[in-house]
């Protein structure tokens, strides 16, 4: 299974913030949308990622007083990215090695979406369920032994 198939299954909806956006507004958006990350966009291009990890670090660093903190101050400026032809196993390995729960998927200059570790787990489970069903059907329809 390739990353492009995972994006197709989950949909390419992007939730974004800007570097000049107030962090509290971004936190509110993440809570309201029930998402763990926002792609940080500036002038039509991705400039970073904001995830719960950065939010938690900012809260700790500013002792909870993040009213004057901007997204650009706490975002990951050069996030690890995936590409559409990447295989799911390679993607999982990359996510584990880089401790990234969310990876933007880039095709050339086009941002296709963001894949979470949960998206990968769901896609792999769905693929395994399909393969399991195919094997069960194959076994169920196995030809009987020829009668002598």
Instruction: Report d(CA 114, CA 17) in Å as an integer.
Output: 14
Give pLDDT, residue 128: 65
Beta bridge partners of 105: 82, 113
Beta bridge partners of 116: 102
In which residue are the tokens 């002598």 written? 148
Residue 17 near residue 50, CB atoms below 8 Å: yes
Q: How many domains does the chain have?
A: 1
| 48-65 tens-digit pLDDT | 999 999 999 999 999 989
Find the domain containing 34 and state its range.
3-140
Q: Is 147 a domain residue?
A: no
Which residue ranges in the chain fall short of pLDDT 70? 127-132, 138, 144-148
Give pLDDT, residue 117: 85
Q: Is 124 a domain residue?
A: yes
Q: Is 148 a domain residue?
A: no
The 3-class SS string of 59-103 reads HHHCCCCCCCCEHHHHCECCCCCECCCCEHHHHHHHHHHCCCCEE
CA 113 to chain centre: 8
Give pLDDT, residue 76: 95
Give pLDDT, residue 123: 77
Q: Is 14 a domain residue?
A: yes
Residue 3 near residue 84, CB atoms below 8 Å: yes
Give pLDDT, residue 41: 95
Q: Is 146 a domain residue?
A: no
Q: Is 69 a domain residue?
A: yes
Give pLDDT, residue 131: 65
Give pLDDT, residue 58: 95
Q: Is 100 a domain residue?
A: yes
Q: Is 45 a domain residue?
A: yes
User: At 43, which helix (H) or strand (E)?
Assistant: none
- ∠ at Cα 120 (40, 29), nearest 5°? 35
For 16, phi then psi, to 5°, come to -125, 165
Query: How many CA atoms, within 13 angstroms, populate the side-chain half-sphere of residue 52?
Result: 9
Beta bridge partners of 76: 49
Residue 23's CATH number: 3.10.580.10
| 19-37 tens-digit pLDDT | 999 999 999 999 999 999 9
Give pLDDT, residue 146: 64
């Amino acid at each position: 299974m390739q990353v492009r198939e995972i994006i197709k299954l989950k949909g390419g909806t992007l939730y974004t913030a800007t570097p000049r956006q107030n962090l509290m507004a971004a936190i509110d958006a993440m809570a309201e949308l029930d998402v763990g990350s926002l792609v940080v966009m500036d002038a039509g291009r991705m400039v970073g990622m904001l995830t719960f990890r950065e939010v938690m670090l900012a809260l700790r660093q500013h002792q909870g007083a993040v009213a004057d903190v901007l997204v650009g101050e706490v975002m990951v400026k050069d996030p690890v990215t995936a590409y559409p032809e990447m295989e799911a196993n390679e993607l999982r390995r990359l996510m584990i090695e880089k401790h990234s729960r969310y990876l933007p998927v880039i095709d050339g200059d086009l941002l296709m979406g963001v894949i979470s570790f949960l998206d990968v787990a769901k896609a792999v489970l769905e693929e395994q369920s399909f393969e399991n069903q195919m094997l069960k059907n194959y076994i169920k329809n196995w030809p009987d032994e020829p009668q002598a």
